[in-house]
Amino acid sequence: LTAPAPFADETSCQCQAPHEKLTIAQARLGTPVDRPVRVYADGIFDLFHAGHARALMQAKTLFPNSYLLVGVCSDDLTHKFKGFTVMNETERYEALRHCRYVDEVIRDAPWTLTPEFLEKHKIDFVAHDDIPYSSAGSDDVYKHIKEAGMFVPTQRTEGISTSDIITRIVRDYDVYARRNLQRGYTAKELNVSFINEKKYRFQNQVDKMKEKVKNVEEKSKEFVYKVEEKSHDLIQKWEEKSREFIGNFLELFGPDGAWKQMFQERSGRMLQAFSPRQSPNSSPTRGRSPSRSPSPPWVINKTSPPSSPKAASASLSSMSEGDEDEK
């Protein structure tokens, strides 16, 4: 696996033991190391893909000890019996040489296998899918191989073939033409008309503009998302700070807050400072009767009003006399 597979016309046959005919049962049991089972698989192998590789893997693993020879038809033979290829014969040869399951590549392989060809390359069995392959005026080019008991079938890989790949290219021709124009290929190399070239280039410009708009939209969405995320964080922090501010405000100015208590203490001190102190009970008196305090001379006794003017004058004279006595 450290070098590509050799070409058959550049190397001698590696099988040194006499080439005796094997049956499939004998091959499945295993053969000596110096006598591997020589399996042959042929084809066009245009646009070498996974379906080709899986078929060769099956051919390689048919028997415990096998040597896989792969025949590849030339361009002239392929164009004559099948049609035009995408890859030329040199490219197809090289593609097969670098497949890990291939031990030897036979260039310019025949379209129909002859006894002389089988004897020349000491081929024991031919591996191919079991679907009849009609070509070159025959219903099945492998019919005589099957009758000789040398045919071993393999399974096709569904969903992949050279025809499928070519169908995709034809279907999406405009896309690939525009892509190659953008990559520097000329309209002449792509066999594109002048009008189609201008159309494809205009479409490429439109696609570039769409891509720029898409990038701007994505960046704007990302910016809006970051702004929303930061605004959410700011709102959350503002709510936390507002709760803390309201709590501190209530502790200071609430119904039972520190400010009210301080105000009550200061107002109490001010009231005590402005209101006079009461006299003690042990202070000396001026000799008045404790039971009855003297009334001032200008107070008129409302309980016993004078019944006549004479009585009123008499009371006034008595008051004046009393004043004189006090003087």
Question: For the segment 4-56, what is each residue's pLDDT rounded down to a tens digit?
Answer: 999 998 875 555 555 788 889 999 998 888 899 999 999 999 999 999 999 99
| Residue that is last in its domain, among 205, 235, 259 | 259
Whether residue 174 sits in one domain with residue 244: yes
Whether 184 is in a domain gets the answer yes
* Contact between 161 and 129 (Cβ < 8 Å): no
Whether 167 is in a domain gets the answer yes
Domains identified in the chain, total number: 2
Whether residue 137 sits in one domain with residue 36: yes
Whether residue 111 sits in one domain with residue 57: yes
Whether 168 is in a domain gets the answer yes
Q: What is the mean predicted confidence (pLDDT) over 119-148?
A: 89
Domain that holds residue 248: 162-259
CATH number for the domain including 68? Answer: 3.40.50.620
Whether residue 209 sits in one domain with residue 135: no
Nearest to 223 by CA among 235, 215, 233: 215
Residue 324 in this model has a pLDDT that exceeds 50: no
Tell me, letter by letter, the H, E, C secondary structure of the chain. Answer: CCCCCCEHHHCCCCCCCCCCCCCHHHHHHCCCCCCCEEEEEEECCCCCCHHHHHHHHHHHCCCCCEEEEEEECCHHHHHHHCCCCCCCHHHHHHHHHCCCCCCEEEECCCCCCCHHHHHHCCCCEEEEECCCCCECCECCCCHHHHHCCCEEEECCCCCCCHHHHHHHHHHCHHHHHHHHHHCCCCCCCCCCCHHHHHHHHHHHHHHHHHHHHHHHHHHHHHHHHHHHHHHHHHHHHHHHHHHHHHHHHHHHHCCCCHHHHHHHHHHHHHHHHHCCCCCCCCCCCCCCCCCCCCCCCCCCCCCCCCCCHHHHHHHHHHHHHHHHHHC
Q: What is the mean predicted confidence (pLDDT) over 124-135?
A: 90
Whether residue 245 sits in one domain with residue 194: yes
Nearest to 299 by CA among 280, 282, 319, 283: 319
So what's the pLDDT on residue 233? 78
What tens digit of pLDDT does each residue of 202-255 get?
888 888 888 888 888 888 888 888 887 777 778 888 777 787 777 777 777 767
Whether residue 106 sits in one domain with residue 38: yes
Whether residue 224 sits in one domain with residue 140: no
Whether residue 113 sits in one domain with residue 193: no
So what's the pLDDT on residue 14? 53
| Residue that is last in its domain, among 225, 259, 293 | 259
Whether residue 95 sits in one domain with residue 202: no
Whether 228 is in a domain gets the answer yes
So what's the pLDDT on residue 302? 46
What tens digit of pLDDT does each residue of 195-204 get?
888 888 888 8
So what's the pLDDT on residue 259? 66
| Residue that is last in its domain, among 154, 186, 207 | 154
Whether 223 is in a domain gets the answer yes
So what's the pLDDT on residue 327? 38
Average confidence score pLDDT of the chain:
81
Whether 89 is in a domain gets the answer yes
Whether residue 127 sits in one domain with residue 58: yes
Whether residue 131 sits in one domain with residue 31: yes
Percent residues over pLDDT 70 in the chain: 80
pLDDT higher at 4 or 323 = 4
Whether 181 is in a domain gets the answer yes
So what's the pLDDT on residue 63? 96
Q: What is the mean predicted confidence (pLDDT) over 243-269?
A: 73
Whether residue 34 sits in one domain with residue 79: yes
Whether 309 is in a domain gets the answer no
